[in-house]
Chain A
Amino acid sequence: MNNPQLNKNGELQHLLTTEGLPVEIVRDILDRAATFIDVSDGLEIKNVPLLRGKSVFNVFFENSTRTRTTFEIAAKRLSADVVNLNIGASSTSKGETLLDTVDNLCAMHANMFVVRHAQSGAAHFIAKHVAPEIHVINAGDGRHAHPTQALLDMFTIRHYKKEFHNLRVAIVGDVLHSRVARSQIHALTTLGVPEVRVIAPKTLLPALVENLGVQVYHDMAQGLRDVDVVLMLRLQNERMQGGALPSAQEYFKYYGLTEEKLARAKPDAIVMHPGPMNRGIEIDSSVADGLHSVILAQVTFGIAVRMAVMSMLTGAKG
Chain B
Amino acid sequence: MNIQIRGGRLIDPKNNIDAVRDVFIVAGRIAATGAAPQGFVAAQVIDAKGLIVVPGLIDLAARLREPGYEYMATLESEMEAAVAGGVTSLACPPDTDPPLDEPGLVEMLKHRARNLNQARVYPVAALTSGLKGQELTEMAELVDAGCVAFSQADAPLTDTRVLMRAMQYAATFGFSVWLRPQDSFLGKNGVAHDGEVATRCGLPAIPVCAETIALATMLSLARETGVKLHICRLSSAAGVELIRAAKQQGLAVTCDVSMNHVHLSEMDIGFFDPNCHLTPPLRSLRDRAALRAGLLDGTIDAICSNHAPVDEDAKQLPFAEAESGATGLELLLPLLLKWAHQDKFALSDALAKVTLQPAQILGLDAGHLSVGAAADVCVFDPDAYWKVEPAALKSQGKNTPFTGLEVQGRVRYTLVDGQIVYQTEGHN
Contact = CB atoms under 8 A, between A and B. Distances in A.
Contacts of A142: 202-203, 318, 320
Contacts of A117: 318
Contacts of B207: 207
A192 interface: no
B202 A1 contact: no
Contacts of B402: none
Contact of B271 (A1, A143, A206): A1
Interface in B296-324: 313, 316-321
A207 B205 contact: yes
Contact of B196 (A1, A99, A141, A211): A211
Interface stretch (A27-35, A45-53, A119-127): A119-127
A119 B199 contact: no
B272 interface: yes
B405 to A, nearest CB: 15
Contacts of B316: 97-99
A76 interface: no
Given A1-B270, A97-B313, A124-B271, A19 B320 contact: no
Interface in A182-220: 182, 206-209, 211-212
Contact of B317 (A4, A98, A206): A98
B374 interface: no
B290 interface: no
Interface in A211-245: 211-212
B200 A182 contact: yes
A98 B313 contact: no
A208 B196 contact: yes
A179 interface: yes
A19 B199 CA distance: 13
A120 B320 contact: yes
Contact of A120 (B195, B196, B313, B318): B318
B198 A207 contact: yes
A144 B201 contact: yes
Among B194, B316, B318, B320, which residue has the most Cβ atoms of chain A within 10 A? Answer: B318
A145 B271 CA distance: 12
A121 B196 contact: no
Contacts of B203: 120-121, 142-144
Contacts of A182: 200, 202
A124 B205 contact: no
A230 to B, nearest CB: 22
A179 B203 CA distance: 11
Interface string B93-121: 00000000000000000000000000000
Contacts of A120: 201-203, 272, 318-320
A144 B195 CA distance: 14
Interface in A1-57: 1, 4, 19
Interface in B181-199: 194-196, 198-199
B318 A98 contact: yes
For the complex, would chain B's binding face be called helix, strand, loop or mixed by DSSP majority? loop
Contacts of B271: 1, 4, 121, 124
Interface in A83-127: 97-99, 117, 119-122, 124-125
Contacts of A124: 271-272
A100 B249 CA distance: 56
B272 to A, nearest CB: 3
Nearest to B207: A207
Contacts of A19: 200
B69 to A, nearest CB: 18
A65 B316 CA distance: 28
B320 A207 contact: no
Contacts of A4: 271
A23 B168 CA distance: 62
B301 to A, nearest CB: 30
Nearest to B193: A207
A119 B204 CA distance: 10
Contacts of B204: 143
A119 B319 contact: yes
A119 B313 contact: no
B199 A207 contact: yes
A173 B251 CA distance: 46
A271 to B, nearest CB: 25
A12 B132 CA distance: 50
A116 to B, nearest CB: 12
Contacts of A144: 201-203
Given A4-B271, A97-B313, A98-B317, A121 B201 contact: yes
Interface in A249-282: none
Nearest to A2: B271
A119 B321 contact: yes
Nearest to A125: B318
Contacts of A206: 194, 198-199, 202, 205
B199 A208 contact: yes
B402 to A, nearest CB: 16
A198 B158 CA distance: 35
B398 to A, nearest CB: 16
Contacts of B202: 120, 141-145, 179, 182, 206
Contacts of B270: 1
B315 to A, nearest CB: 10
B194 to A, nearest CB: 5
A179 B199 CA distance: 10
Given A4-B271, A206-B205, A122 B318 contact: yes
Contacts of A212: 199-200
10 contacts: A4-B271, A119-B321, A120-B318, A120-B319, A142-B203, A179-B202, A206-B194, A206-B198, A208-B196, A208-B199
Nearest 10 pairs of A and B residues by beta carbon: A143-B202, A121-B272, A144-B202, A119-B318, A206-B199, A120-B202, A122-B318, A121-B319, A207-B194, A121-B318
Given A122-B318, A211-B196, 12 more contacts: A19-B200, A120-B202, A120-B318, A121-B319, A125-B272, A141-B202, A141-B318, A182-B200, A182-B202, A206-B199, A207-B198, A208-B199
Interface of A: 1, 4, 19, 97-99, 117, 119-122, 124-125, 141-145, 179, 182, 206-209, 211-212
Interface of B: 194-196, 198-205, 207, 270-272, 313, 316-321
